Amino acid sequence: MTDPSRATIAELRDLVVSGRMSASEICKAHLGRTRAVDDRVKAYRSVLERQALAEADAVDRARRESRPLGPLAGVPIAVKDVLCTQGTPTTCGSRILENFVPYYDATCVARLREAGAVIIGKTNMDEFAMGSSTENSAFEVTRNPWDLTRVPGGSSGGSAAAVAAGMVPAALGTDTGGSIRQPAALCGVPGLKPTYGRVSRYGLVAFASSLDQAGPFGRTVADVARILQVIAGHDPLDSTSAPEPVPDYLGGLERGIAGLRIGVPKEYFPAGLDAEVHGSVRAALAAAERLGASIDEVSLPHTEYAIPTYYIIATAEASSNLARYDGVRYGLRAAGAPDIAQLFRKTRNAGFGAEVKRRIMLGTYVLSSGYYDAYYLKGQKVRTLIRRDFEDAFRRVDLLITPTTPSAAFRIGEKVDDPLAMYLSDIFTVTINLAGLPGMSIPCGLTRDGLPIGAQIIGPRFGEDVVLRAAAALEGAMQFRDRHPPLPR
Amino acid sequence: MAISTKDVRHIAGLANLEFGEAEIERFTRQLSAILDYVAQLERLKTDAIEPTSHVNAAAHALRDDALRPPATHEQALANAPETDRGYFKVPKVIG
d(CA A123, CA A159): 6
Do B79 and A330 make contact, defined as CB atoms within 8 angstroms? yes
Residues 240-259 of A with CB under 8 A from B: 240-243
Burial status of residue A303 (CB atoms within 10 A of its CB: 0-12, 13-18, 19 or more): buried
Q: Are A164 and A189 in contact (CB under 8 A)?
A: yes
Taking a contact as any Cβ pair under 8 Å apart, which residues of chain B between 73 and 92 contact chain A?
Answer: 75-76, 78-82, 88, 90-92
* A416 reaches B (C-beta below 8 A): no
Task: Check: CB of residue A124 under 8 Å from CB of residue A81.
Answer: yes
Q: Let me know: does A263 contact A396? Beta carbons within 8 Å.
A: yes
Compare CB distances from A338 to B12, B71, B91 and report the shortest one's residue.
B91
Rounded Cα gap, residues A409 and A179, in angstroms = 14
Among A123, A84, A107, A80, which Cα is nearest to A230's? Answer: A107
Crossing angle of helices A306-321 and A354-367, in 10° steps, is 100
Contact across the interface for A382 and B44, Cβ inside 8 Å = yes
Query: Are residues A361 and B15, on separate chains, in Cβ contact within 8 Å?
Result: yes
CB contacts of A301 in chain B (<8 Å) are: none
Order across the sheet with A439-446: list the strands. Answer: A44-47, A118-123, A76-80, A170-174, A214-218, A191-193, A439-446, A452-458, A399-403, A261-265, A294-298
- Exposure b/e, A135-169, CB count within 10 A at least 16 = b: bbbbbebbbbbbbeebbbbbbbbbbbbbbbbbbbb
Report domain extents, chain B. 5-43
Q: What is the pLDDT along chain A (489 residues), one digit of tens a residue?
A: 568 889 999 999 999 999 999 999 999 999 999 999 999 999 999 999 999 999 999 999 999 999 999 999 999 999 999 999 999 999 999 999 999 999 999 999 999 999 999 999 999 999 999 999 999 999 999 999 999 999 999 999 999 999 999 999 999 999 999 999 999 999 999 999 999 999 999 999 999 999 999 999 999 999 999 999 999 999 999 989 998 999 999 999 999 999 999 999 999 999 889 999 999 999 999 999 999 999 999 999 999 999 999 999 999 999 999 999 999 999 999 999 999 999 999 999 999 999 999 999 999 999 998 999 999 999 999 999 999 999 999 999 999 999 999 999 999 999 988 888 888 889 999 999 999 999 999 999 999 999 999 999 999 999 999 999 999 999 999 888 788 999 877
- Domains of chain A in start order, with CATH, are 9-253 (3.90.1300.10)
If you compute the radius of gyration of chain A from its CA atoms, what whole number of angstroms results? 21
Instruction: For Cα atoms A180, A184, A185, give the angle at the middle one, nearest 5 degrees.
Output: 125
Inter-chain contact A196–B56, Cβ cutoff 8 Å? yes
User: Positive or negative, the Cα torsion across A389, A207, A408, A254?
Assistant: negative
- Closest Cα in chain A to B2: A365
CATH of B5-43, one of 3.40.1350, 1.10.20, 2.50.20, 3.40.50: 1.10.20
